[in-house]
Homo-oligomer: A and B are copies of this chain.
Amino acid sequence: MGKRLRHGVKILAILIFGILVINLLLLMGFEDGDIPNNFEYYQKMASDSRKHARAVFKEILQDQSKVISDNWEVLNFTKFSDNDRNRPIVFIGGVPRSGTTLMRAMLDAHPDIRIGEETRIIPMIIQMHRHILSSEKEVSRLQEAGVSETIMEAALGAYIMEITVRHGEKASLIGNKDPLVLLSMVQLAKIFPNASFLFMVRDGRAVVHSIITRRVTVTGFDLNSFRSALQTWNRYIEHMHKQCLELGLGRCLPVYYEQLVLHPKIWMKKILKFLKVPWDDSVLKHHETVGKPGGISLSRLEFSTDQVVRPINVAALSSWVGHVPEEVLKNMPQFAPMLANLGYDPMAIPPNYGIPDELVRNNTQYLKASNIFPDNSIPKDTIERVRKNEEALRLAKEYQKSRI
């Protein structure tokens, strides 16, 4: 006792202060409904909060694993039965192609966590419920029959829990990654009192570019129109972001894909702390077990994701540059106001996402030099895309220099 405890209290105080500041910044960004034109303000805000976060993390990292193992007993996972709706559960989501698979693969590498493949059926049943609840007539008929919304939610919870628990191995912390279920975050938070939400955020331009070039079928996205797809991205992410703020940082943690890729260790420490799970180095080596027996299970549908089968690298961050129609580029703030709201500069091509950590730099260089693609399912245009990425990175560097 004594020294170590005082140290823990100090760290906690810093963390609370940090959360308050971030909340304040977020609130400031939301106080007016119009689209602000002062991008420098957002750029600065994003940079400030990044700097602040860095400072906080630095303190935390000094002895984080010790602090966590001291407090580990606080969350007793074993006291819940397998199907208990009160057990801790993590929902990973966001707009598809925002790094949700990478996030879940990194967590799946942890010995105490199991997320597993996209179940597909959980979004379907949530959608069915949403559809029913949207009809006043149906709701009143159901109430007439003694089927209240609370009862429907209990049934929905039992269904989701059953699928989540059974479609993979047992683990202290189980989770679900069907990206769009975060559109129902507030409802899920009510159904599962100890659920946490990891809300993946990624530059909408990169998301839409990825959806369109990979021809990924996602509800609501028009694969033939960059503009329309970008507006869908904006609508979805606005809806999720609002709910994430409503739940608060204690239950919903926004994770910026770019930041996760640039600084995996810092973010994974933060994420595991948020999930109340002790640190384990395996989360930084997810690629070593992916698709191998006893390792992380990936469905054939998810395998095309570069980041998941390779060590973390930044090759894809700016691959969208040069693929956005000019008309969209010019009206970016109007088409996707959430870009600025989330701290991305809508007029920068690409924005300064930040400088990768040494580990990530090494990974990226290694991948570029070796030109090894470990699995056959990677689309044939990968070489071409890598070339474009290099071009984009070159542009990004120039852009970066020009801003200094």
Within the complex, the shortest CB–CB distance from A134 to chain B, in Å, comes to: 14
Instruction: Report yes or no: B120 in contact with A124, Cβ–Cβ below 8 A.
Output: no
Alpha-carbon distance A145/B104, docked complex (angstroms): 14
In the complex, A117 has a CB within 8 A of chain B = yes
Within 8 A of B (CB), among A273-323: 297, 299-301
Asked whether, in the complex, the Cβ of B125 is within 8 Å of the Cβ of A132, the reply is: no
Q: Is A349 an interface residue (CB 8 A)?
A: no
A80 at the interface (CB under 8 A from B): no
Categorize the interface residue count of chain A. Answer: 35 or more
If A117-B146, A144-B299 touch, whether A151 touches B132 (CB-CB below 8 Å) is: no
Q: What copy number does this chain have within its complex?
A: 2
Q: Kindly state the separation between the CA atoms of A361 and B222 in the bound complex, as whole angstroms.
A: 68
| Inter-chain contact A163/B155, CB cutoff 8 Å | yes
Instruction: Tell me whether chain A's interface is mostly helix, strand or loop, or mixed.
Output: helix
- Rounded to whole angstroms, the CA-CA distance of A168 and B163 in the bound complex is 26
Residues of B within 8 A of A55 (CB): none
B120, A141: Cβ atoms closer than 8 Å: yes
What distance in Å separates the Cβ of A301 from its nearest Cβ neighbour in chain B?
6
Please report the C-alpha to C-alpha distance between residue A168 and residue B147 in the assembled complex, in whole angstroms: 9
Task: Give A126-167 interface residues, CB cut-off 8 Å to B.
Answer: 128, 132, 138, 141-142, 144-147, 151-152, 154-163, 166-167
A203 contacts the other chain (CB 8 A): no
Contact residue among B128, B145, B167 (Cβ-Cβ distance under 8 Å from A125): B128
Q: Are A166 and B144 in contact (CB under 8 A)?
A: no
**Smallest CB gap from A152: residue in B:** B121
Chain B residues near A142: list those with CB within 8 A. 119-121
Query: Once bound together, how far apart are the Cα atoms of A381 and B46, in whole Å?
Result: 72
In the complex, what's the smallest C-beta–C-beta distance from A161 to chain B, in angstroms? 7
Task: Give 12 A-B pairs besides A116-B145, A146-B167 with Cβ atoms closer than 8 angstroms.
Answer: A116-B146, A117-B146, A119-B147, A120-B142, A120-B145, A125-B159, A141-B301, A144-B300, A145-B301, A155-B163, A157-B162, A159-B159
